[in-house]
Structure 1
């Protein structure tokens, strides 16, 4: 038990100093008893640990900011409102697009400011602020992980109307491939890969991000009648490869490994994840493939071998875009989830959901079912996937068929801690010190504690989790229904549900940056009763 607990039973009566209709008497019992906080599994209302993310797209002002030329104050207001909305729906992570097309939504960048932030590429915010610093701080204050989402392949988007003279398509035209209205990096050039790696390392070095995130854009999606003209690069750098497809995959493999190594060397705490196209390969093409019959695959058409990246340990998590319904015959949702579950190689698997397809006019009419997305969430939990991500923020805001209501009121009604990554950090923090309670000036039970010393990896707590049990309950740590509060700032949590007549036992844990949970402080056993009016 924590060293601050008395061996003797003590009773402390705390009365309010502010007159109220019904003053409480708090009977506080501190003792060195044998009540244990069991670390076990068992029936729970919902997962205690689950990744719950959303993509916030900035390209073409899809999600944020709502338009190009908003004043910085309005941009900040919009972003805070988005975070409040998603936090209120039970989410615990955001993927925010901070490099959309040869640009940046942050100050410390070799590339120009984004036109979708300021109206013209290269123009800085006026009055000046650093959006990435702001977004990270606001996300963390709400208990949301912040993953910096970078489009690694684009220099000019087909919807771009403003391209700075400092865009690399002008500064390094030999690095550029033109395809279907886009200007893209040529991944076959070693200097291009070096630049991308340094861009990622620059973000990791200068910003307090939780993760670096790439989406599905590697080599471009193929368009009928269009040819990606990298023959010259292949002749220069393709020695040892009998075909261009294998060479392209090797280029992307080298890039992913180099990004992983760069992150690891700069800040090993930062996670690295990718959201590839949902189908790696079909079983008809290789025995290792999925029971799907799609025409396009990530491996064969985008040259992205995400299965290899997981197997080699270059990724910490994967978010395949399983943007298909259960009833879509060529690529059934269940078949893909089954395949990814079996091919995660010990890394985290989160399922990417097509929230934008719900209720939309779609060739797949299964998306007109109100139960399609809820059933997908139930299925992935049954299969053991560790969470979900939704594309995109505005689709959840739209709340078609009440999908967001389902998250708020059912699936994500209870809080969830982000799953741990023991290969990155498996050392829990020290437990909180001196857990205590009082009735505050608002007639609400308030618990307070002291910050412990750093753990042996020199980490202090990142946040705290308060559990409450009835006096006759056996305390266990697996059920999120027992979490009464999470403190992301400060060392206090209130329990507004505590009522006179209640007999409770409280436990408090500390959680570090990678969500390892400490041994508990407690039990703090309380009996609350109403006192006579003065």
Structure 2
């Protein structure tokens, strides 16, 4: 039995302990322990059909919300519509504008805000070069550098993306390559990012590549004339290998500035990427130029979705780098049912993939409770060694 006197002495101590425990439980900085689960939980933040990047308040609110849903990775777009979404000296020199002219981006550095607020919430920030070598046909970039644009065999350059006319910078042209490398070095040097991401827009639509520079280079290196059939196997392989060589330059340029900055790639499935965009990401991955792979598998059918996850090139990548799947959460005019999202997340987990990333923030909708159900606790991001 504890005496009344001892009880009186212990009571203040018990009250102090209880109060401290309550504060600790309410304070993430004190209550959080190292997560025991390892899973990539990402989301793309884009300026297309989304307002998430167009004010400091939107950035702060959205990152707070995502952290509460136990996401751990942000992929903000930094290169879209022929402009950078961060203040860029390179863009000022090349395009004549240092920043996308959209009003909501003026007078601020969106990327620095995302990095700062993301890191405050223990989230990785990996900027995404969404447009790659693509640009709007009427962009300042295309107008200032018409010789950088590649073409079809008949000389036409426009490639429609939905209702939008696009052109493509020639990925084989040294000036284009050096400009892209300058953008990449600028970001890696100036921002405390955790990685940088590309997709198959760092390839080229297969019908393009018939500009004078490229067909001259093909003749010089192979002794052959560029074939009329853009799907010719040798012509396809030669162009794809040239793009692989450029990805090698990208990889080593990043590592020369910041060795621990991971190179992430989020392409379509391999067969489509190679045949449609000359982006042979399987070869990039085998060569060691990819340190995180997120295959965008936007399928409504669970059977078709799962079949892409079971592809041998995905299985092979999974054995030595974090390999995840990109899941469509919705489009501007169409929400993907949450039941479909749940089943796709489970399919990724069943195959022991590294995790998932959702395209895109705005289409998560008002479904916070559903995502917290899928991600009930915090998780560590997978690494090359985990």
| TM-score bracket for the superposition, by shorter chain length | 0.7 to 0.9
Cα 1:381–1:312, aligned 2, differ >3 Å: closer, same or farther?
same
The offset of 1:262, in angstroms, is 0.7
Structure 1: give runs of 5+ residues left out of the alignment: 1-11, 17-21, 27-45, 67-74, 282-296, 362-366, 423-515, 517-534
- Distance in 1 of aligned mates of 2:199 and 2:205: 13
Q: 1:406 aligns with which of 332, 346, 370?
A: 370
* Pairing of 1:312-351 with structure 2 (within 5 A): 312-327=287-302, 332-339=304-311, 340-344=313-317, 345-351=319-325
* Pairing of 1:32-431 with structure 2 (within 5 A): 48-58=37-47, 60=48, 62-65=50-53, 75-111=55-91, 112-115=97-100, 117-118=102-103, 125=106, 128-151=107-130, 153-154=132-133, 156-157=135-136, 163-164=139-140, 167=141, 169-177=142-150, 178-180=157-159, 181-221=165-205, 228=208, 230-238=210-218, 239-241=220-222, 243-278=234-269, 280-281=270-271, 297-327=272-302, 332-339=304-311, 340-344=313-317, 345-356=319-330, 360=334, 370-396=338-364, 398-399=365-366, 402=367, 404-408=368-372, 410-422=373-385
The offset of 1:381, in angstroms, is 1.0
Tell me the secondary structure at the aligned position of residue 215 of structure 2: helix
- Distance in 2 of aligned mates of 1:98 and 1:143: 21
- Distance in 2 of aligned mates of 1:14 and 1:49: 42
Judging by fraction of residues, say which structure has more strand. 1
The offset of 1:343, in angstroms, is 2.2
The offset of 1:273, in angstroms, is 0.8
- Distance in 1 of aligned mates of 2:343 and 2:36: 16
- Distance in 2 of aligned mates of 1:139 and 1:355: 21
Judging by fraction of residues, say which structure has more helix. 2
Tell me the secondary structure at the aligned position of residue 320 of structure 1: strand
- Distance in 2 of aligned mates of 1:261 and 1:91: 29
The offset of 1:359, in angstroms, is 9.7
Scaled by the length of structure 1, the TM-score of the pair is 0.57
Cα 1:384–1:229, aligned 2, differ >3 Å: closer, same or farther?
closer
- Distance in 2 of aligned mates of 1:305 and 1:157: 24
Scaled by the length of structure 2, the TM-score of the pair is 0.78
The offset of 1:407, in angstroms, is 1.6
Cα 1:321–1:25, aligned 2, differ >3 Å: closer, same or farther?
closer
The offset of 1:234, in angstroms, is 2.4
| Structure index of larger Rg | 1
Number of residues of Structure 1 aligned to a counterpart in Structure 2: 334
Structure 2: give runs of 5+ residues left out of the alignment: 1-8, 19-34, 92-96, 151-156, 160-164, 225-233
Q: Which residue of 2 aligns with 1:23?
A: 15
